[in-house]
Amino acid sequence: MLPFLRKKTNDQLGLDISSSSIKMLELSRQGDRYHVESYAVEPLPAQAVSDANISDVEAVGETLARLIARAKPGVRRAAVAMPESLVWTRTVEMDGGLSEDEMESQIRIEADQLVPFPLDEVALDFAVLGPSEANPSQVVVQLAASRNENIELRKDALEIGGVTARTIDLESYAMERAFDLMVDSIDVRGKVVGIVDIGATTTNFHVIAQDRTLYQRSQLFGGKQLTEEIQRRYGLTMEEAGMVKKHGGLPDNYELEVLLPFKEAAAQQVQRCLQLFFSSTTYADVDHLVLAGGSASIAGLAQLVQDKLGRPVSVANPFVNMSISSRVNAAALSMDAPALMIACGLALRSFD
């Protein structure tokens, strides 16, 4: 059984391997307060990660090794995440009186009937979500399965980078944990919240209610489109375009002719996320939207989305109540905070 949902160990880095970069976060806890010990973001070579999976293990491992050498975290064990597209999940109801061993045996029987792959080709895990609303003597159990090859690719890349994979989590669970850190600061506890995670190539939309993800969907749209337009418009390399997009230095026409159309396209994507959510569930509204991912830091994007959609919008920052090590660049961390939600949720596995 692989620890998708259980088996928590102390002192783990959070490592988020996305399509464009590796993000690392190291946390400690001082009393009831979390402390950022170190963090780093390292860009990945093009196509090193493709369609949510690692396609070049050596390139990912070497990128991780550079990140570790630069950030010098205090531990070399890590929690990493699997995207939902690579994990098969189902919920089943089981007798609440079963021991963990009995439940595990029953899960394997259930999995043999439900998982669409031979069991010797997959890693399995399960978690008890709580009592059944329909039958209090039953518990709702979530089963998770992923092909062994997906797991091994991540473990191999981490090994090349000098890190041991201790925990494999789901991206949505990591997002939930990180979001819980900022619930009170934006006053949305108990409300229905949509988290729009705009990555380099994919936008992931999570809806959280009652502290649990009730909906998740991905669509092709991301910050890479802005980078490519900068590259095309100003005759830059992709690396140069990425640098000026983040740090500035573009001509005066950039804001109006390049950035504004991208922000308007992003707002349209958020609107589409909501429409798809409403059409496939019984929900007719969300109370609040949170922008995450690298593009969430674009100045004015949150306000534009709020104005166009008529709902309150916040920019994700899981570090709002954390203290920060003197060796961490606080301004850089603040800028990168929306893109570090999954890494943060993974780093929190050290304290479960």
Strands in 88-95's sheet, in edge-to-edge order, are: 88-95, 138-147, 122-131
User: pLDDT tens, 92-108?
Assistant: 888 888 888 888 888 88
Report the C-alpha gap between 248 and 155 in whole angstroms. Answer: 37
Choose among 61, 64, 58, 65: nearest CA to 22: 64
Report the C-alpha gap between 213 and 245 in whole angstroms. Answer: 32
User: Is beta strand 138-147 parallel, antiparallel or unpaired with respect to 53-54?
Assistant: unpaired
User: pTM to 2 decimals?
Assistant: 0.89
Average pLDDT along the chain, 352 residues, taken 10 residues at a time: 44 93 94 93 92 91 97 95 87 86 85 83 85 87 88 95 93 93 93 96 93 89 95 92 88 94 97 96 95 95 96 96 94 96 95 80
Report the C-alpha gap between 218 and 43 in whole angstroms. Answer: 22
Structural domains of the chain ordered from first start: 86-148 (3.30.1490.300), 185-316 (3.30.420.40)
User: pLDDT tens, 333-343?
Assistant: 999 999 999 99
Query: What pLDDT, on the 0 to 100 scale, is given for residue 1?
Result: 41
Report the C-alpha gap between 247 and 257 in whole angstroms. Answer: 18
User: pLDDT tens, 271-282?
Assistant: 999 999 999 999
Give DSSP secondary structure letters for 21-73.
EEEEEEEEEETTEEEEEEEEEEEPPTTSEETTEES-HHHHHHHHHHHHHHH--
Report the C-alpha gap between 40 and 68 in whole angstroms. Answer: 8
